[in-house]
Structure 1
Amino acid sequence: MKHRLGALLLLPLMVSAVFAAENPIWGEGRITNIFGYGKEGSTGLGPLFTLLQNQYFVPIFLAIIVGVPAVFLLHYLVIGPKVFPHGGKKIKVFSLFNRVIHQIAAISFIVIIPTGIVMVFGSFFGGGWFVTLCKDLHGLFTIPFALVVIPMFFMWVKEAIPNTDDIKWMMILGGYLSKEKKPIPAGKFNAGQKMWFWIATLGSLVMVITGVMMYLLDFDMSMLVSLTGLSQIDLLRLAAILHNVVGFAVLALFITHVYMSMFAIKGAVHSIIDGHMEEEEVRILHSSYYKKLKEKGEV
């Protein structure tokens, strides 16, 4: 079993190596950035940007797209999902405001992430109208997300502050490597959900800002030039580098979030739709939160 798991974990690296060797998408000198600038004027951040853009960004995205789902498929086949009864007592955990904000962000992500992937692999899709459409949708759906990311940050930041439960949770990987239903030390959000929160808010805010900079590449950035000491083209290169690097984390944790809410815990996704969780699910997966609710007499 260990050998199979090791081989599966190496699969994305093997696929990336084959693509890098045989596919001209990111061959030397063949990448053209979707926003229109490339190797010209390789001064300042130019060499670094060209190196990352031509040799690393696409293979890393490919490794995430292949590797993360592969690991979760293995988990689903070997361990399986946790199932809780859905006919018992329910606990309200999310308000209507929480749910509306989350759903706007979720719908935005469902469009932003696939269209972003198409843009990364633009040459593979042949460029043209399809990639241009994805670029336009990517920018369009960034607007509603940008409107809710700040409210989402403040409504959940208190529950997302790390604590000692998170260390205990990480040591047992949230109990997801076992089929047993033992109480897991976690508050309203567990350590995994907290990681996603910080990446989905602060990380995505970085992506919004850098994305706007790239979309408005001809806009006068003299104020930022003065503050940073970078040329305008280097500001754009830096924005592209940050956008891609943060994008690695956003993509990996988005896939993780979808798997956990849709597959690893049967019915978990309903909590953000109707605002309620099964009492047993809270008691087992969020034991510290459940204890606080009991102390308050809310369960």
Structure 2
Amino acid sequence: MQRRFSSVVLIALTVLFAGSAFAGELQAGGAVTGSSADYYGQLINVITGNWQEYGQLFTLLQSQWFSKIFLVVITAVPAVFLLHYLIIGAKHFDHDGEQIYFFSLFARIVHFVAAISFSLLVITGLMIIFGSFFGGGMIIRTARYVHLVSAMVFALPGLLMFVMWLKEMLPQFHDIKWIFILGGYLSKKKKPVPAAKFNAGQKMYFWFATLGGGIMAYTGYIIWGFGATVDTVRIYTMLHNALGIGIVAFYLTHVYMSVFAIAGSLESMKTGYKPKDEVDILHSLYKY
């Protein structure tokens, strides 16, 4: 950890002094050789070093580690939730009693489009990662095109969700308590948990899906070969896959919580209403 921190400090100082020296030389009008582009290339080389050095790391991660890590995620996370379902079970609430209007029609439409496109992104992304398992060929090429189209579709609802729910998704002190008790999901008892309209788990998934999705979109754009060098593609591919691991884990968690952990939870995204019983327990700080 100290070594990494020292590296970050060294890089920051290098950027500062190299940039200052570079700017000072231009301002002084000293005798220099080469064009401004040459100086820029030299400056970047000082800051980043030889990007070709990442080639070996890229090959190692792509050929061996990423697929193994993704495999662990898509097997271990569902296995944990299966145990939870068998041991703890789903939480049930009174859907015939008083209902609380929770999501507007606009929010539900945006969420629906986002959910479909995001699900396709996850599914096709995993197909690409495990391309050799599916035999490659046409099915993987099709998955790549679906992945690209799904990313473009998700961009708009992703942005709308970010603007629409930004204020309510900001971290608050009661989120810490929610995390410590894991939202009360480790108990069969229905006790009020500290959460407003969205709990800490939903907030974490929100930031992964919106900001993380934005980074995934940009790196994906570069990976598709839109004017980037091979070395840049390597760096962005590693970043894309590393972030994808976290997103897949949160996606599987979100699916389990929405479909299995809370009986009838999906109804709120159809009708916009949640049972008052559920709101009082799982969103005890929500003002309605």
- Report the TM-score when normalising by structure 2: 0.81
Partner of 1:149 in structure 2? 158
Q: Unaligned 5+ residue runs, structure 2?
A: 1-49
Map Cα deviations across residues 155-189 of structure 1 (whole Å, 9 max, x no partner): 01111111111111011110000010110011110
Cα RMSD after superposing both structures = 1.3
Mean CA deviation greater in 70-79 or 44-53: 44-53
After superposition, residues 55-204 of structure 1 pair within 5 angstroms as: 55-204=64-213
Could you tell me how far 1:220 is from its partner in structure 2?
2.7
From 271, 275, 287, the equivalent of 1:278 is 275
What code does the residue aligned with 2:179 have? M
CA–CA distance in structure 2, aligned partners of residues 142 and 179 of structure 1: 39
**Aligned residues of 1:162 and 1:194 also touching (Cα < 8 A):** yes
Q: Is 1:220 the equivalent of 2:217? A: no
CA–CA distance in structure 1, aligned partners of residues 159 and 222 of structure 2: 19
CA–CA distance in structure 1, aligned partners of residues 253 and 69 of structure 2: 17
Structure number, greater radius of gyration: 2
Partner of 1:19 in structure 2? none
Q: Is 1:236 the equivalent of 2:233? A: yes
- Report the TM-score when normalising by structure 1: 0.78
Moved >4 Å (runs of 4+): none
From 247, 250, 259, the equivalent of 1:250 is 247
Could you tell me how far 1:45 is from its partner in structure 2?
1.9
CA–CA distance in structure 1, aligned partners of residues 155 and 54 of structure 2: 28
Map Cα deviations across residues 41-84 of structure 1 (whole Å, 9 max, x no partner): 99232122112112210000000010000000000000000000
SS at structure 2 position matched to 1:56: helix
SS at structure 2 position matched to 1:117: helix
Could you tell me how far 1:246 is from its partner in structure 2?
0.8
**Aligned residues of 2:198 and 2:283 also touching (Cα < 8 A):** yes
Map Cα deviations across residues 191-232 of structure 1 (whole Å, 9 max, x no partner): 1000000001000111111111111x1x334xxxxxxxxxx2
**Aligned residues of 2:101 and 2:272 also touching (Cα < 8 A):** yes
SS at structure 1 position matched to 2:274: strand
Q: How many residues align?
A: 239
CA–CA distance in structure 2, aligned partners of residues 220 and 88 of structure 1: 58
SS at structure 2 position matched to 1:277: strand
Q: Unaligned 5+ residue runs, structure 1?
A: 1-40, 222-231, 294-299
